[in-house]
Amino acid sequence: MNKRQFKDGVYSELAKITKSLANPHRLEIIELLAQGDCPVEQIAEQTHLSVANASQHLQVLKAAQLVDVDRKGNFIHYKLANENVFQTWKALRELGVERIAAVEKLVKDFRKSKFDFVSVTIDELVKKIDTGRVTLVDVRPESEYKKGHIADAISIPHDQLSQRLKELPKRTEIIAYCRGPFCVFADEAVALLRKAGYKASRLEEGFPDWKLQKLPVEVSVN
Amino acid sequence: MNKRQFKDGVYSELAKITKSLANPHRLEIIELLAQGDCPVEQIAEQTHLSVANASQHLQVLKAAQLVDVDRKGNFIHYKLANENVFQTWKALRELGVERIAAVEKLVKDFRKSKFDFVSVTIDELVKKIDTGRVTLVDVRPESEYKKGHIADAISIPHDQLSQRLKELPKRTEIIAYCRGPFCVFADEAVALLRKAGYKASRLEEGFPDWKLQKLPVEVSVN
DNA sequence: TATCTATTCAAGAACTTTATTGAATAGATT
DNA sequence: AATCTATTCAATAAAGTTCTTGAATAGATA
């Protein structure tokens, strides 16, 4: 094998991986799987795809070895092959927000129009936890909370929040978090909480970002 | 705009960026531009593409805002839009090497078959520079050296090395570096040096990786 | 102003990717 | 062993990507 063949080989393999990521639905699937493993049907539902279509996208990710499968009873669970997959998605996400005005505009317009408040970064949250009292609320679906959540966070899924406000303290600051910067659950939660007189803000990033930094995590085993 | 439209918008913008990276030639172009800005014709030559084809690929990268243009006299120079672009390429590269056996095999087979020696990581090189004496040789084309190189490195382009061996000390350790882990210039240099009785190894990563870590860099201004 | 030249554009053929549909499969459960 | 069911496969039409070729352009030099 000569030099050129070697280079062509390497770059074409890397392009294959990149291609497997280069689709809006597959990026959304990666973000979803970063919350924990998940059967096909749930992925299809969450991403608004048909099951057959979701399955096909998962096959593409599997062929690129970005996801692994696990059979659990009647269901087949998919999961990210390793941390590096989320890391790469994070790099792409950040590149997008920084480089592409369209993405930043989408995010800002949507957020600012409906939810006019600032968010807290992971670093800021760590300081807050160290120095003061904070109530952490995980507003993702309970199944995702169970698969892993920030230590000491309580689970109140976004669609149950209005009925469960009493569980939250009025005095201490509340930080809501969800899947990631493009997930709206936390924004909706904060809007609701503020309207009800609570002192609340959202975490800018999501649970997978917290976990990637090796910060304390808890799992609810079934 | 509702939640679903927002998500669809964001993921499809991010997928557009990812698609612009998802091609072997464009990945190679990114790696080349990470060495410093460069006119179209040189990019075409280095990547073995026709000029028209290289230009088209550059248009794709430009549309995704991953590269910027600068006119210099008669030539149009392309450059990476910012550090994050290289960062993302690096994440993809590492994901590839870690996840895809095919990539690792290609690299190992090619290297091990022709160049049977271990490489030095950036961290190890930093320590070596601190504690001992090391001669650093930049074996990339001189134009790339001029656009930026590791501090105190000397330039001996790979194709001139055999005639310029006398410039190098026989006693102190020599570390050769080039564009990155998939670049073969440094391997060839080390093979040649060892055969001639020098104590030499290659840097595993390349100059852009060194620069990304904010380690000391020099530029030869023209 | 005319010429030169690096780069881009445009059109088209070959190939790849995607969503949809309905059938097939493989592994549990009964 | 028979049935059930979550998932995958296969075929197809529509849309997108890529390389090649040769012409067009825009900005510099003369």
List pLDDT tens digits, range A38-84.
999 999 999 999 999 999 999 999 999 999 999 888 899 999 999 99
pLDDT of residue B126: 96
Contact list in B for residue A102 (CB cut-off 8 A) is 13
Question: Which H helix or E strand runs over A4?
Answer: helix A3-21
Neighbours of B197 (CB within 10 A): 9
Let me know: does A83 contact A217? Beta carbons within 8 Å: no
* Domain residue ranges in chain B: 3-85, 111-218
β-partners of residue A174 are A135, A200
What type of residue sits at position B178?
A: C
Strands B149-150 and B217-218: antiparallel
pLDDT at A111: 75
Alpha-carbon gap: B137 to the closest alpha carbon of chain A (Å): 21
Q: Is the pLDDT of residue A203 over 80?
A: yes
Structure tokens at B4: 């679903």
Interface test with A, best of B46, B106, B188 (most A CBs within 10 A): B106
Residue A153 gets which letter from DSSP? P
Tally C-beta pairs within 8 A across A and B.
154
Token readout for B10 is 């964001």
Q: Indicate the class that CATH gives domain A3-85.
A: mainly alpha
* pLDDT tens by residue, B37-61: 999 999 999 999 999 999 999 999 9
- Does the domain at residues B111-218 carry the CATH identifier 3.40.250.10? yes
- B64 close contact with A: CB closer than 8 A: yes
Rounded-to-integer distance, Cα A148 and Cα A217, Å? 7
For residue A166, what are the contacts with CB-CB under 8 A and spacing of at least 6? none
- Residue B113: predicted pLDDT: 67
Q: Which nucleotides of D are covered by protein (CB under 7 A)?
A: 5-10, 17-23, 27-29
Strands (E) across A102-199 are located at: 134-138, 149-150, 154-155, 173-177
Which chain A residue's Cα is nearest to B81? Answer: A99
Mean pLDDT (whole number) for B118-136: 92
Residue B109 confidence (pLDDT): 75
Q: Which fold has domain A108-218?
A: Oxidized Rhodanese; domain 1 (3.40.250)
**How large is the average pLDDT for residues A189-218?**
94
The tens digit of pLDDT for each residue in B83-108 reads 999 999 999 999 998 877 666 776 77
* Chain A CB contacts of B46 below 8 Å: none
